[in-house]
Structure 1
Amino acid sequence: MTEQLPVGPGTTVTLHFSLRLEDGEEIDSNFDKDPATFTVGDGNLLPGFEKVLFGLMPGDQQEFTIPPEDGFGQHNPSNMQEMPRDQFGPDIELEEGLMLSFADAQKAELPGVVREFDDQRVLIDFNHPLAGRDILFKVAVLNVEPAQVH
């Protein structure tokens, strides 16, 4: 029997997880699917989510509340942008909550959500949809092993 490792830097972790809002709305879950595997620090998990897992052992199940500063950030008013209505083609049917894709200065894709609009202007929110929200992060750790160094 090999000694069990706790989650920490230099480990690869296999787990089931779910993300919910405080009102119980589920955002993501793989409890009914294959588990996820990631290596601590590889960028697949936000650092604030990784940090709470440190010290957990295979078989552990826990639920954490991740505050915005450790999750998807605070809502930033400067990420709200007003654009002229005529920048949106006549074939685009605008509605509040509609997610559109924009290109930033580096031509990278940037999602934005229509918050409000009228005949003259459109207000687009470029904040992450979960910015400013506490996230309930539930995990079931299945396996922890030393990360394979390439």
Structure 2
Amino acid sequence: MTDSVQRDSAVLVHFTLKLEDGSTAESTRANGKPALFRLGDGSLSEGLEQALLGLKTGDKHNFSLPPESAFGAASPDMIQYFSRRDFVQAGEPEIGAIMLFTGMGGSEMPGVIREISGDSITVDFNHPLAGQTIQFDIEVLEIDPVLEGTHANPVG
């Protein structure tokens, strides 16, 4: 067990994400359930991993990341247009609603209903925080925690 976050560490953290206007986008403190991340598995942006490296258990770190280092820039390619008849099964969509859509490979993608105009419905598949500078407030609770239900397999 290391005493600081490394490139392949698992880290148990409490975090709060705030937008530039000061509003909270997400917080693990609200429900009292910390998040577990593994660096290097592709789930975190490079910028966020860089900010975590070297932190120790008990460290609290506040920092901002620009959109390209946080959740990416909003891409116009991720805005799709559908016909109202595509929503017959799902019911009447509402602006701002998040709906799950099935992609070509069968995977589900969340999309936000942005506009309803006559027979045309605009859906945004960008990450809801894409294009925004994010203020991170992270507290490292544990590095490489021993998780219940996992067992080390001795070799040899």
TM bucket (normalised to shorter chain) is 0.7 to 0.9
- Give the counterpart letter for 1:126 in structure 2: F
1:58 equivalent to 2:49? Answer no
Segments of structure 1 that go 5 or more residues without pairing to the other structure are none
Tell me what 1:85 maps to: 84
Superposition map of 1:119-130 within 5 A = 119-130=118-129
Runs of 4+ in 1 over 6 A off after TM superposition: 146-150
Deviation string for 1:26-80 (max 9, x for gaps)?
Answer: 1222235143333322344333222101111222211111111111110101111
- CA distance in 1: counterparts of 2:20 and 2:101, whole angstroms: 30
2:28 corresponds to which residue?
30
Q: Which piece of structure 1 moves more, 86-95 or 106-115?
A: 86-95
Query: What's the counterpart of residue 110 of structure 1?
Result: 109
Q: Secondary structure, in 3 states, of the residue corresponding to 1:24?
A: coil
Rounded Cα–Cα distance in structure 1 between residues aligned with 2:90 and 2:144? 52
Moved more, 120-129 or 46-55: 46-55
Measure how far apart 1:7 and its partner are: 1.2
- Measured in 2, the distance between the counterparts of 1:23 and 1:66 equals 14
**TM-score, normalised by the number of residues in structure 2:** 0.81
Distance 1:146 1:91 in 2: 42
CA distance in 1, matches of 2:5, 2:62: 15
For residues 89-124 of structure 1, the C-alpha deviation after alignment (integer angstroms, 9 at most, x for no partner) is: 176222211111111110100111111112221111
Which of these residues, 11, 17, 20, is aligned with residue 18 of structure 2? 20
Q: Distance in 2 between matches of 1:47 and 1:119?
A: 42
Deviation larger for 7-16 or 34-43 = 34-43
Task: Give distance in 2, aligned partners of 1:87 and 1:146.
Answer: 46
1 CA distance for matches of 2:109 and 2:89? 21
Give the drift of 1:149: 8.4
The 10-residue stretch of structure 1 (89-98 or 70-79) with the greater mean CA deviation from structure 2: 89-98
Q: Is the 8 A contact 2:12 2:145 kept in 1?
A: no
SS in 1 for 2:139: strand
Structure-2 change in CA distance of 1:24 and 1:149 (3 Å): farther
Calculate the aligned-residue CA RMSD, in Å. 2.6
Structure 2: unaligned runs, 5 residues or longer: none
Pairing 1:136–2:147 present: no
CA contact (8 A) 1:20 1:27 kept: yes
